[in-house]
Chain A
Amino acid sequence: MSRLPLAIPCSRAVNHPVRAADGRAEPAFVLCGGRSGSTLLRFLLDAHPDLACPPETNLPVMAGQLATVWSLIAGAPLSSERGDEPPVIPAEAIRGVRRTLDEMTGSYLQRRGRKRYCDKSLGTARFADLLLRIYPESKFLCLYRHPMDVIASGIEACPWGLQGYGFDSYIAATPGNAVWALARFWLDNAAAILAVEEQYADSCHRVRYEDLVADPEGVADGIFRFLGVASAPGISAQCFAPGRERFGPADYKIWHTSRISADSVGRGWSVPAGMIPPPATQQINEFAERLGYVPVDDMWGTAVVPSDMRLTASSRTRPAAASRPEPSPHAALVGDRLTAGLSGIDRMFARRWGSCAAESFTIVVLPAAGDGDVGESLWRIDLAARSLTLVARSVHDADEKNDTGWDIVGSADAWHAVIAGRTNLGVALRRCELRYCEAGESAPLVADTRIAMLSDLLTLAGARQHPSPPGQAVRPELVPGLQ
């Protein structure tokens, strides 16, 4: 992502700011990518009595285009690449762009009866240099959100294929892998915004979505202080009052929202991190560290959902749940099914599943939402011994190695849905609601066989229709690729 060129280094010491004749404060710009909570931030800004923040105007893009046209008309040298911005944007062009923008934003402010214009358009970071030349006293609100939550949000917003929100070019490069496409989307946006933060620290104020939803009043107050406007207590509730401008693109959910909630934090926990190539994951984690987010590691999605996607002191020292061998109700349901399945194991079971029928494995039931600090429930199944053992594990023990060859991990809700027949086991695995993990690498069909065997053991739909004797089917649920 290239930035627009400057005629002179963009330092306010050498810039020649052009101030509005009416003395009105210069605009504030939200630097953000799609699905990062920018519409919520816009609502908060727009709810302040001094500020006006319309839906996405793409004003910075227009400023860039205007600057290019003006530069060419002013006789600035052309770019070596036809169609690119000229290498130098002369001051005359900057003044011309500012006049145009002032006219537009001034009219808007007048209509709204507000004093300061704020703009929330996707991809604004690319134009930060130019915007600071046009408005040397402008401010940037740098908005971030945990990458995996952005990915989850993007996929939720585009269930039929990634379109809009700036996703198109990313999915075109990796068609069929929305996770990687969105990971690159996040990386590009985060890199651009972080670069602006680094270069223009005094003009920037960092806002993390997770902070915003956890403490909207406090974060809003910090933003308002940065912008030099008065505090506005109660603004987190007022921002959903009727009166927000509805034209232009925005988050499709915001119009059906009446309060700020942290419910969507951590939804990226179900995103299969394995679909992102390791070099990209490494880059994500470098940025995540700079932003104070939990990294995306090998344990992603296979342990208890972190209570916070931010690296805070409290998240690091979260108290461990008592290691009591008492399953949650959902975990108990899984245990009941396993007990019944183990008692029904016969010679035909061993015949159907071959060497897998003598293995040991672990079913991990992660606590359901609202279970607080309750640890995971681990059912260890020893098929050879026909035994089932419950092991309660605290969040502190999450890194402990299992002594079984393979695990299937999932939330209590996911297990309940499978056991109750609401969700097919194959679909749950495909959607990563349940995850198959193994120590080492087994032969290609072994994982499918184990999963089919588990389906048999849990007497799930489909497996029920294959009574053991006389053994009609060879691995009835053995479907390569879970298709």
Chain B
Amino acid sequence: MTGRLPPISSRDSARPDRADMRGNRGPIIVLGDSFFGAMTMQRLLSRDTALACTSGIGMLPLCEQAAISWLHVEHRDEPLSQLAIASIRAMTDSLIITVLSGTGNKRWCEVASAHPRGAEVFLQLYPGAKFICMHRSCLDVIAAAVRTNPWGLADSIFRSFAIGYPGNSVAAVAAYWITRSEAILDFERAHPAASHRVRFEDLVGSPARVRDEISSFLELSQEDSWAGPCVVGDAFGESGEDEDAASGRVPPDMVPPQLRTRLDELLQVIGYPPMPAPGPLLS
């Protein structure tokens, strides 16, 4: 979708809360779920006194669904019409303003675990929006997902992938990782200026550096700077981001060859080592 935003009326421009959502002060979206370190990122961002952080409120799926509905209603393909964009934005504005007014903060930040398709629409609504794209080693995601869901993946974000790989949670989560990573990488490539890549390992390994990079990318003002020293150590323990991820115990043999090839390609793009070679399973 490549539709352009309609011009903002002078009446709208007079509203300071709307002005805050344009240009460099646009909304912030963290693309990723807790298994990718998104909650740790949220905690880091919520140290900024200007940000009102939410997670999983469903804004991106809402935008995506609204866009689909408008395309149907107007019997047209992409891009969205100006009317559609204005209508959807009016809806999302009211939600965002409600969040901001509830907290007294200036800028909204959402952790979105939904598919990045919704991010494309959101960017049309808010061209000044910034996207932090979270990545994490596949083996760590698998280990965290399995540890968090010992009874099965049915009641989780991995559900649809579990159906394809019954009895093999490793493969199911690996397939999920591939799908998400591909989508996020596609988004990064399509919108390099609006997106900033963060690897979870860098976030917990060099939090100060990552913080500075994020601060620069988000153009956070000095007065809104992060409160206190940057310690992300206690971020461990978040759902799926715990210290017991124990990726070393994940049996690489359980990743089917057809997934392994794609997995290694994506790992290389993101800067991770390839999957370990299959070895004998210990019983």
Is B a genuine binding partner of A? yes
Q: Which of A120-128, A168-176, A310-318 contacts B (4 or more CB under 8 A)?
A: A168-176
Q: Is A155 among interface residues, defined by CB-CB distance under 8 A? A: yes
Q: Is A275 among interface residues, defined by CB-CB distance under 8 A? A: yes
Contact A426 B239 (CB under 8 A): yes
Interface range for B: 35 or more
Residues of B within 8 A of A (CB): 33-35, 39, 42-43, 46-49, 51-56, 99, 102-105, 113, 146-159, 162-172, 234-240, 242, 250-251, 254, 283
The complex places the Cα of A301 from the Cα of B162 at a distance, in Å, of 26
Contact A473 B53 (CB under 8 A): yes
Contact A483 B167 (CB under 8 A): no
Contact A461 B55 (CB under 8 A): no
Contacts of B152 in A (CB 8 A): 175-179, 181, 275
Contact B234 A421 (CB under 8 A): yes
Contact residue among A430, A462, A474 (Cβ-Cβ distance under 8 Å from B43): A462
Q: Is A162 among interface residues, defined by CB-CB distance under 8 A? A: yes
5 extra interface residue pairs, beta carbon distance < 8 Å, beyond A465-B234, A483-B156: A160-B254, A161-B172, A252-B283, A461-B234, A462-B234
Contacts of B239 in A (CB 8 A): 424, 426-427, 430, 479, 482-483
Q: Is A423 among interface residues, defined by CB-CB distance under 8 A? A: yes
Q: Report A442-483 CB contacts with B as 1/0, cut-off 8 Å.
A: 000000000000000000011011100011111110111111
The complex places the Cα of A464 from the Cα of B35 at a distance, in Å, of 21
Q: Is A167 among interface residues, defined by CB-CB distance under 8 A? A: yes
A194 to chain B, nearest CB (A): 26
Contacts of B168 in A (CB 8 A): 160-161, 163
Contact A159 B150 (CB under 8 A): yes
Q: Is A432 among interface residues, defined by CB-CB distance under 8 A? A: yes
Q: Is A431 among interface residues, defined by CB-CB distance under 8 A? A: yes
26 pairs of residues in contact across A and B, judged by CB atoms under 8 Å: A159-B150, A167-B167, A174-B154, A175-B152, A176-B163, A177-B151, A177-B152, A178-B151, A423-B242, A424-B242, A427-B148, A427-B237, A431-B148, A461-B237, A465-B46, A470-B103, A472-B46, A473-B52, A473-B54, A474-B99, A476-B53, A478-B55, A478-B56, A481-B156, A483-B113, A483-B240
Contact A465 B43 (CB under 8 A): yes
Contact A473 B46 (CB under 8 A): yes
Q: Is A295 among interface residues, defined by CB-CB distance under 8 A? A: no
The complex places the Cα of A349 from the Cα of B242 at a distance, in Å, of 27
Sorted nearest first, the 4 A-B pairs with minimum C-beta distance are A176-B154, A175-B166, A176-B162, A426-B239
Closest to A168 in B: B167
Contact flag A427-B254 (CB < 8 Å), given A175-B154, A472-B46, A480-B56: no
Contact flag A472-B49 (CB < 8 Å), given A427-B240, A479-B39, A483-B157: yes
Contacts of A462 in B (CB 8 A): 39, 43, 234-235, 237-238
B3 to chain A, nearest CB (A): 29
Q: Is A271 among interface residues, defined by CB-CB distance under 8 A? A: yes
Contacts of A176 in B (CB 8 A): 152-156, 158-159, 162-163, 166, 172
Contact B166 A430 (CB under 8 A): no
Contact B154 A424 (CB under 8 A): no
Q: Is A367 among interface residues, defined by CB-CB distance under 8 A? A: no
Q: Is A272 among interface residues, defined by CB-CB distance under 8 A? A: yes
The complex places the Cα of A177 from the Cα of B109 at a distance, in Å, of 34
Contact residue among B104, B148, B154, B242 (Cβ-Cβ distance under 8 Å from A177): B154
Contact B169 A160 (CB under 8 A): yes
Contacts of A424 in B (CB 8 A): 237-239, 242
B242 to chain A, nearest CB (A): 6
The complex places the Cα of A473 from the Cα of B146 at a distance, in Å, of 29
Contacts of A472 in B (CB 8 A): 46, 48-49, 51-53, 103, 105
Contact A172 B167 (CB under 8 A): yes
A28 to chain B, nearest CB (A): 27
Contact flag A179-B151 (CB < 8 Å), given A474-B99, A474-B103: yes
Closest to A429 in B: B239
Contacts of B102 in A (CB 8 A): 474
The complex places the Cα of A470 from the Cα of B167 at a distance, in Å, of 48
The complex places the Cα of A271 from the Cα of B152 at a distance, in Å, of 11
Q: Report A309-348 CB contacts with B as 1/0, cut-off 8 Å.
A: 0000000000000000000000000000000000000000
Contacts of A423 in B (CB 8 A): 237, 242
Closest to A430 in B: B148
The complex places the Cα of A481 from the Cα of B147 at a distance, in Å, of 15
Most chain A Cβ neighbours within 10 Å, of B33, B170, B239 = B239
Contacts of A168 in B (CB 8 A): 166-167
The complex places the Cα of A162 from the Cα of B147 at a distance, in Å, of 14
Contact residue among A175, A179, A474 (Cβ-Cβ distance under 8 Å from B167): A175
